[in-house]
Structure 1
Amino acid sequence: MHKNILTEPVVRFPGSKVFRPLGGDRHLSVVLLHGSEGGSAGYRDEEAKELASHGYSVLVLCYFDCARKPEANSATLKDVDTSMVLDAIQWLREQPFSDGRVVVNGWSRGGELAMIVGSLNAGGRLPEALIAHTPSDVFNGSFNWLWTDAKCWTCKGPSCSKNSPKSQFKWNGLCGPDDPNRIDLTKSAFLINGTSVKEGSRIAIEKFSGPVLITVGTKDKMWPVDQTRRIEKTLKQANRAAEIHYFEGDGHIFKGSKERCRRNLTLAFLQKVPKNADHKAASAYPTISAPSHAEAAR
């Protein structure tokens, strides 16, 4: 489907890949961040290929659960230092295919990570712009999908039913070493300079002066849309350049024409990223907007 694209593994970031157009031209680059499914799932590769087919260089950055074998247990999202994303931004800027501009684009927990990166006091290491799908406005704790899997819990007594209280079950060690009962879930999964913060702490996204694009479904049952509404309010009060799109009736994952619309919004946003790497030169962006999704899907 996508031709004239080069795909390369990135030794600097194990489990990560770069998708970029063939040729010697310099391009805007994107750091694409997966969600709680982990980097081994490869869910963002197809979007990376599409972005590359439109002339962008894309680093699909694996920040946890990298290169896992299919039969292995999934890794826990925990103790991920945000400096990895800053390092990825710098790495992209140093590549011969880069024009110096980098955008961080995160999905779900990756959207949370994108918001955190934007809030850092990192000066010139920050990206030119941020994109997030259904992000969080607060730091969240560690997580593993196996924690929600019934086979990973065994009954402590002679018998249990699906309605038995959680206290009647114990962690099945065959599902891995990370017993959630032994992990401090009051600490954030993402670290700042090697240190966690309290789970639920607000992400100070207003510190980021560059343009921001956010998409979210109003019926998202995994991460409430109110998180995005609070981000929108914060950015508006700080007079930041933000483009927020609410997809009425949609959930956490978009499909069909709605997903096509989301990707078109991303492509349109990338075309407007300032070439002078000046966050304050984002006059092409509205402060807050909600354009027609039908129009964006054309």
Structure 2
Amino acid sequence: MQIRPKVSLIDEPVHIQIDGLEPHSYVTVTAVTNNVLGLTCSARSSAVFVADSNGSIDLDTQKPVSGSYDCADGMGLFWSMAIKDIQYTPVIRNGELRYGPAETVVRLCVEYNGEILCTADCIRRLYDPDVQMLNITKLDMVGKLFIRNGNAPALGLIVLGGGEGGLASPMTYAALLASHGYPALALAYFRFEHLLPNLREIPLEYFEKAIHWLRHHPACNGQVVVYGRSKGAELTLLLGSKYPEVAAVIASSPSSVVCIGDVEQRPTGGYRKYSSWSVDGRPLPFVPWSDELCAEAERSLRNGRGIDQVHRRALLEADGIERYEIPVERIHGPILLISSGDDHWWPSTLHCERIKRRLSEHGFPYRCVHLDYPHAGHVIRFPGVPTTQLRMNGGTPGANNAASAESWQEILRFIEQLHHEGGERD
């Protein structure tokens, strides 16, 4: 069995070819690992292939006859892994939050008639060995900065997670972006260290300080792009519209409006509702939810169902919706939007269409790229990782993988073009 390359970044494709088989024989190829993105687990996939007349199987070009995926895709065994027994303990202390081991071993096994013919290991790196992680734990900023040693100053990114809070998710993106040569700050904004425990009226001024800090860091060339997913995507659009220092915005599964942040039941009945964000100590107006919608969302989450229908209903029923819209036309640079048609958290495709319409109405002078994936769910990330966790997120494993693979390459191209344009201006 040939695996090329044997060692690769997690977002890089690998080529798998098996030779020396009986022509036209049926063989099973299995992939297993005990770690996904730094989390201990049991993950497994398998597929049955028919060797060609030369006794060879090329996973890039051959479709399996059965198994955990059903298309010709050299990375199919990686993204179709079913994950079990995942061990995840929320960590709220920066010094205790690790991202590792830096390398994950995926073992591939070829079987014929119940007999193991060969095995081989594929090493997948979560980030480049030259990437350094620096913990930033200050009163006015908490995050992890990833920089690749020896790089010239480059465009910097601030990576923002979603409604889960903390840093566990954004640091996976920041580490990978740094591996591609861009200093990246995974920035926490609630449910971590001394920050607020809930998504309630987070001051936008907190992010302004982080933008200023990264712009003046020696690893950064002065360009700062904000990249957020889900709730973080809503936030990136707000930051870009408020702070001209933001050179561009990448918003994956965004909202076109300021959405509700948190709710709590009152002892006397009903709900108290909170804005997600504040400016100058005042909460930003947000699309209102009735007590009925709050109760429906709670029931849905409790029963493992999506809440996209709640967000959609609130959006369509709101009076004076203009009051809650994010003024995206004030963003001082290009925008990359990513959405999915089977998003179970909120209607991201609808929101992106609203964003584009507003930009057009205001004669937005910069480019806006919109990538929409009708059959994908909420979790569009980078390629090379399992996309089989559909509960609450939507989509199908294949559609989610295709969206992740294409959009990640578009993100890297978008950033590279910005970096090049910034260098020309300098």
TM-score (norm 1): 0.73
Does structure 2 conserve the Cα–Cα contact (< 8 Å) formed by 1:36 and 1:143? Answer: no
Matches within 5 A, 1:81-100: 81-100=203-222
- The code of the aligned residue for 2:356 comes to E
- The code of the aligned residue for 1:193 comes to D
Task: Provide the C-alpha distance between the structure 1 equivalents of 2:269 and 2:210, rounded to a whole number of angstroms.
Answer: 30
Number of residue pairs matched by the alignment: 238
- The code of the aligned residue for 2:352 comes to T
The worse-fitting range, judged by mean Cα deviation, of 254-263 and 243-252 is: 254-263
The structure with the largest alpha-carbon Rg is: 2
Q: Name the structure, 1 or 2, with higher relative contact order (CA <8 Å, separation 6+).
A: 1
Which residue of structure 1 aligns with residue 6 of structure 2?
none
Task: Provide the C-alpha distance between the structure 2 equivalents of 1:170 and 1:242, rounded to a whole number of angstroms.
Answer: 43
Q: Does 1:236 align with 2:363?
A: no
Q: Does 1:110 align with 2:232?
A: yes
1:17 to 119, 144, 150: 144
- After TM superposition, the runs of 4+ consecutive aligned structure 1 residues lying more than 6 A away are none
Does structure 1 conserve the Cα–Cα contact (< 8 Å) formed by 2:155 and 2:419? Answer: no
The worse-fitting range, judged by mean Cα deviation, of 269-278 and 98-107 is: 269-278
Q: Does 1:197 align with 2:323?
A: no
Which residue of structure 2 aligns with residue 155 of structure 1?
none
Structure 1 stretches lacking a partner, 5+ long: 69-73, 148-168, 172-178, 282-298
Structure 2 stretches lacking a partner, 5+ long: 1-124, 288-323, 381-386, 388-400
* SS of aligned partner of 1:272: helix
Q: What is the CA distance between 1:275 and its match in structure 2? A: 5.6
Give the direction of change, closer, same or farther, for the CA distance of 1:58–1:182 in structure 2 (3 Å limit).
Answer: same
* SS of aligned partner of 1:236: helix
- The code of the aligned residue for 2:222 comes to G
Which residue of structure 1 aligns with residue 417 of structure 2?
272
Does structure 2 conserve the Cα–Cα contact (< 8 Å) formed by 1:116 and 1:203? Answer: yes
Matches within 5 A, 1:107-186: 107-120=229-242, 122-123=243-244, 126-143=245-262, 183=272, 185=273
* SS of aligned partner of 1:102: strand
Q: What is the CA distance between 1:15 and its match in structure 2? A: 3.9
* SS of aligned partner of 2:282: coil
1:33 to 151, 160, 164: 160
Task: Provide the C-alpha distance between the structure 1 equivalents of 2:201 and 2:327, rounded to a whole number of angstroms.
Answer: 20
Which residue of structure 1 aligns with residue 290 of structure 2?
none
Q: What is the CA distance between 1:274 and its match in structure 2? A: 5.6
Does structure 2 conserve the Cα–Cα contact (< 8 Å) formed by 1:128 and 1:274? Answer: no
- The code of the aligned residue for 2:246 comes to P
* SS of aligned partner of 1:128: strand
> Where is the strand percentage greater, Structure 1 or Structure 2?
2
Q: Does 1:223 align with 2:366?
A: no
Q: What is the CA distance between 1:97 and its match in structure 2? A: 0.9
Does structure 2 conserve the Cα–Cα contact (< 8 Å) formed by 1:101 and 1:275? Answer: no
Q: What is the CA distance between 1:119 and its match in structure 2? A: 1.9
Does structure 2 conserve the Cα–Cα contact (< 8 Å) formed by 1:112 and 1:139? Answer: yes
Q: What is the CA distance between 1:95 and its match in structure 2? A: 0.9
Q: What is the CA distance between 1:23 and its match in structure 2? A: 1.7
Task: Provide the C-alpha distance between the structure 1 equivalents of 2:358 and 2:420, rounded to a whole number of angstroms.
Answer: 26
Deviations along 1:130-164, one digit per CA (max 9) or x if unpaired, are 000011111112237xx7xxxxxxxxxxxxxxxxx
- The code of the aligned residue for 2:171 comes to D
Task: Provide the C-alpha distance between the structure 2 equivalents of 1:35 and 1:244, rounded to a whole number of angstroms.
Answer: 20
TM-score (norm 2): 0.52
Does structure 2 conserve the Cα–Cα contact (< 8 Å) formed by 1:4 and 1:22? Answer: yes
